[in-house]
Chains A and B, each alone.
Chain A
Amino acid sequence: DQQVKQNSPSLSVQEGRISILNCDYTNSMFDYFLWYKKYPAEGPTFLISISSIKDKNEDGRFTVFLNKSAKHLSLHIVPSQPGDSAVYFCAASGAQKLVFGQGTRLTINP
């Protein structure tokens, strides 16, 4: 049973436009949410996070939105750059567990 789901395996966006990656979760006990970015042949690196008491967190070009009632979070990247091409994982944490989604491969086209 997948507690954290990223329903889009891939996403292609033109350079300069907005990229929106989505994530859904099922467990109401999750209280902290994170996004990781992964390049080929490297480990995931932390990108941005949000606490369950907030609905938005912004860091430069990256913004994460949390809708607790819908159990949904999204990552917005604007403007998208070629270096943003990577696999993005959302993750949800609580009680010493960090549960990852399946990942979305983002490709930024020039």
Chain B
Amino acid sequence: EAQVTQNPRYLITVTGKKLTVTCSQNMNHEYMSWYRQDPGLGLRQIYYSMNVEVTDKGDVPEGYKVSRKEKRNFPLILESPSPNQTSLYFCASRLTTGGAFTDTQYFGPGTRLTVL
């Protein structure tokens, strides 16, 4: 089954404790992305990757890191989480890297992160 998986689905942590949210897709997609969803703000892009070893900042990259060492995986790293990073996070992937998003983007089920 074609899918994007994220782990963990729920996480409660404390300020400053490094964490990683994993993302994996089994569709051989080139483009992968991370979003956060906050009330009243919709989904905002954190980072994206157009291929292995190629990553770029989205609209809200501060406090986050990513890596793309393999095509299927795109982990999101919070080196020193803070309470303002409490949010619902989504990983997404799509086949091509065209600028117009004309091909379907598939989203993972989400990771709800709480930073105390």
By a beta-carbon cutoff of 8 Å, the part of chain A in contact with chain B is 2, 4, 6, 9, 31-32, 34, 41-46, 49, 51, 89, 91, 93-103
**Complex: A41 Cα to B10 Cα, angstroms:** 11
Question: Would you mind naming 21 contact pairs between A and B with Cβ atoms under 8 Å apart?
Answer: A4-B42, A9-B40, A32-B102, A41-B109, A43-B90, A43-B106, A43-B107, A44-B43, A44-B90, A49-B102, A51-B102, A89-B42, A89-B43, A93-B99, A93-B101, A95-B99, A96-B50, A98-B45, A99-B59, A102-B40, A102-B42
* Chain B residues, CB < 8 A from A31: 100
By a beta-carbon cutoff of 8 Å, the part of chain B in contact with chain A is 4, 33, 35, 40-45, 48, 50, 56, 58-59, 90, 92, 97, 99-102, 104-110
**B41 with A102: CB separation less than 8 A:** yes
Q: A42-B110, A96-B99, A98-B45 are in contact. List 20 more A-B contacts (CB 8 A).
A: A6-B42, A32-B100, A41-B110, A42-B109, A43-B92, A43-B106, A44-B43, A46-B104, A51-B102, A89-B42, A89-B43, A91-B101, A96-B48, A96-B50, A97-B45, A97-B58, A98-B101, A99-B59, A100-B35, A100-B44
**Complex: A101 Cα to B44 Cα, angstroms:** 9
* Chain B residues, CB < 8 A from A6: 42
Partner of A98, one of B97, B105, B109, B110: B105
* Chain B residues, CB < 8 A from A49: 102
* Chain A residues, CB < 8 A from B33: 98
* Residue with the highest number of chain B CB atoms closer than 10 Å, among A41, A42, A93, A98: A98
